[in-house]
Structures are given as C-alpha cells and as structure tokens.
Structure 1
C-alpha cells in the first residue's frame, strides 16, 4: 500500500494531503483504513458542498471556526472542536467568523468502519467538543508525520501504524462523547443495536428503560440530535450497507436479515437514505 502526496494551492486555500492508493496486486481487506489525511489553510469565502456523501471524514479546527450544515442542522464549530462529515448525508461547510481557518482532516474507510463508529457511539455525531483538544490535534499530527516520513513505495508497517492511530483518534473522541451522554441514553442505544434484526417500537424501548415516552423522546432528541425512530432506521440501513459490501447475501435476504418483510419497501427506503438503490450501492463497492 502507498499514499500519494498532493499540494493544492488556490487563491483562497492551500491544502497538503496524502491519499491512499492500493497497489494493483493488493488483495487485503483492511478493517480500518486511513484513506486520506492532511491539513489546510482556508481564507474567508471558501465553501465546500457534498451531496449524499459516500465516505466518512473527521476534521479538527486548529484556528478560526467552521459554519457547518449537515442533514438539515446548523453548527458553528470553534477552534479545538471536531466535526464529522457523515456517510449517507449531505453537508456544506465554510469558513466562519474570525478570519482564516486552519484545520486538520482525515478520511476513514475499511470493511469494519461502520461497526467501529457505531460501537463507539460516533455514527450519528456531527461534532464533538473534546475534553483534551491538544491530545486530539496531536493524533492528527502523528498521522501526517508518519505519512510524510513513509517510503515512496509504501509498506505494510505503515498501514499498521496508521490503523492504530485512526482507532486511537476515534476512541479519544468517543471518550469525550461518553462523558456527556446519560447512561439512560447509552442503554437505549445498546437496546436498539441489539434489535436491529426486527421491528422495534418506541413503546418497547421505553418499557425496557422504565420511563415515559414523552420524556424519552425529549431526552433522546436533545442528546442525539435526531428522533429515536430516525436513529434506529439509520442504523438498520447502515448495517444493510455493510452487508451489501461484505456479504454475498441477496438483497432479499439482506432485507429479511435487517428486519424488513417487504424487499421492495426496503429498497425504496434504502435509496432514500443513500441516494442509490441497494443494487447500485453494491456495484459501487466492487
């Protein structure tokens, strides 16, 4: 494996990045893969838009701020904070007030990336305020340092180093997140993930937790920035997408596996989530 180095200079932005490029004979399936890493300087006026992203990006604001709009929600991400550009949703972001933006960023992939994000509670997150931002920034710097010092022809040890740093980054962000989510919500998330194979009502979740539905809806929406139903359905389709990438099951079998009795309904809802049908999604992964 190797990474190609690029330096992008434009009127209002400068970016240095390393992009993963597999060798033609490479046949490895990496569970967690750093697909890109870099850092950038953007001047006021720079904007970027991505529709129905097929990838996961994590970006750290080192200086300035970012105006982020993702999945219909608006945020101002300040220096020392991290924002996720999530898979399956559209987003737009631009330089915020305060002048020049300095940021570090990574693109994360791999056969098990969805599982890692889900198990660490990061899949639905738009942004996080880390408890120790300097520690997060240090991990980003360690990634680009490892890439800048890597052999031109690449090596397998580099992948091991970068995969470890990628997981360290996600784990540190998860620890910052867990400190702000009540145990009640964590229990609800666990219960949902344990029942992705079937239909699950809010009433069942509330009975499991021993709380009223209005209180649960309010608490969940406040901390997760979406409704329980939206979260549960999105997890189902993320699992379905993972099965489409890594399994040989038919679309009908995946529909039943993820708790949908009607494959046609499953396909229609999948397209709403990802912008393409299950068949088209699977072809893109080949």
Structure 2
C-alpha cells in the first residue's frame, strides 16, 4: 500500500479578480481514499503525476492516469477516488475569478466531466511539481497566479500544433508588452505587427498557436480588464474610462464591454459597488 502523504497551503487575497489562487497542494493517496459526492465553491484543477483514479461528475465517470487532468467546477456534484491497485499521486490548484470560466474553456475542459490528457510535447507536469516549492516565497500569491496562467497557456496549445520557431515566443512576448504599454492609445493590428516587425497575418497565426486567440482579442481583454479596475474605483465617468482604455466612442466601448464581460459598464459598476459595501 502506498503511504499517504499530503501537502497543501492556502493563499491570502491580494486583490486580483481575473484569476485568484485560493489553495494549492499535492497528495499521494492510499488505495481506499475517496472524496465526495460533494460540491466546491471554487474551481479545482488536478494533475495526475502517477497512478490511477476515477473522476465522476455530471452523470459520467472517467478513469484518469499519469498525464491526465480533471477539473472540479463550482457548485457541481462530483466524486473522485484512487484506484485500489495503483492509487494516484496528484497536485492541484483551487482558484476563482472573473476569467476562470473562460480560461478553463480555452484550456480544453468541457462539461459534463471535464477531463483531458496532455501530449508530451505540451506537458504541464513540471509546472505542477513547482507548486509547493513556492510556499516560502514572500510574494507566493503572485508566483502561483503566474504559474496557473502558464498552465492554462500550455493547455491551450492545440495538440496537433506544429513546432514553433525558436523566435516565436520572443515575437509574441514583444507584442504583448507593446499592447500592455499602449492599450490606452488607438492602436490596431498594423501598429502591433509593425512594432514587432512581422506581417499581420503571420502575427495572427503566432498568437493563435501560442495563445489560442488573435492579437485583437488579446488587446480587447487587456482593455476590458483595465476598464473593470477603473469601474470598481468609482472615480471616473463611462466616457472617461472609455478614453482611458483606448476607445474614443463611449458607445462602442459599452458594446465591447458587455460583449466581453457580460454586463454593461453601468451594471458592472453597480454590482461592484454592492459587493464592496457587503464586504465592509
């Protein structure tokens, strides 16, 4: 029988709303170890390092082994347990946030039983093994959030994606840096491609390969995240916020905000105001 060991840690909130890591851990299970049926109020992403087990949700059960991942979705009844002969060893991230649902979808998890494998070329195993090594870092919440973003980015790469040239990551990183610095200006695809010295079509292909989205979509996400932060501060009007994130037309900004976030800027501001009052 495999010895039972578990390590985990809870994290403190540092005000991140797009993606917030609440807990992480790693566990070597005994053969009779099961959890559930139960529900959680957060997402919990497990990666299986070795051994086997079964995950059940949405009326379906799937056997998961080395290299497999399974996702617990908030408020969804689930259960999981170790294989009696070869009990599993897994690590996990517990998280929430306004971008959590979209990130898990981009990473390839779909209902009713969100389970997937990762090809060796896009392995996330080393990233999960780093989880507990960050416990002593003074800014571990930031490191863990960055690590989880890296996991989602790796999982979003298509299984059949062709090998990328060595300079691909460099071009994408430069484009991302440019957008983060210039999101408040009326920049478009031509300006982004010109900055990194690439053809617009090739830059779009690199973004799809690396991030599973277009540069325009990435820029829109940056602008909407910045807009959310400004709306929560309750200091500027909608038109001022629109201009602050690169939109000269407040109506266009409001349409893009609702399409991306699911609420109008005014509704989002009111919701944030109510939530802020309830926390006091």
Distance 1:266 1:206, change over 3 A: same
Partner of 1:165: 140
Contact 2:238 2:250 (8 Å CA) reproduced: yes
Match of 2:213 among 217, 220, 226: 226
Distance 1:66 1:199, change over 3 A: farther
Match of 1:135 among 104, 124, 129: 129
Aligned counterparts of 1:181 and 1:95: Cα–Cα separation in 2: 41
1:263 maps onto 2:231 in alignment = no
TM-score, normalization: structure 1? 0.54
| Runs of 5+ consecutive residues of structure 1 not aligned to the other structure | 1-15, 21-28, 68-76, 86-91, 115-121, 143-160
For these two proteins, the number of residue pairs brought into alignment is 214
Match of 1:36 among 13, 22, 25: 22
Match of 1:183 among 170, 184, 187: 170
Aligned counterparts of 2:150 and 2:198: Cα–Cα separation in 1: 26
Q: CA deviation at 1:184?
A: 0.8
Aligned counterparts of 1:224 and 1:36: Cα–Cα separation in 2: 24
TM-score, normalization: structure 2? 0.55
Contact 1:81 1:130 (8 Å CA) reproduced: no
Tell me, what secondary structure is at the counterpart of 2:23? strand
Aligned counterparts of 2:264 and 2:249: Cα–Cα separation in 1: 15
* Matched ranges for 1:89-168 at <5 A: 104-107=92-95, 126=107, 129-130=123-124, 132-133=126-127, 135-138=129-132, 164-168=139-143
RMSD of the TM alignment (CA)?
A: 5.2
Match of 1:61 among 44, 47, 68: 47
Distance 1:166 1:181, change over 3 A: farther
Q: Which has the larger radius of gyration?
A: 2
Aligned counterparts of 1:201 and 1:231: Cα–Cα separation in 2: 11
Q: CA deviation at 1:175?
A: 7.2
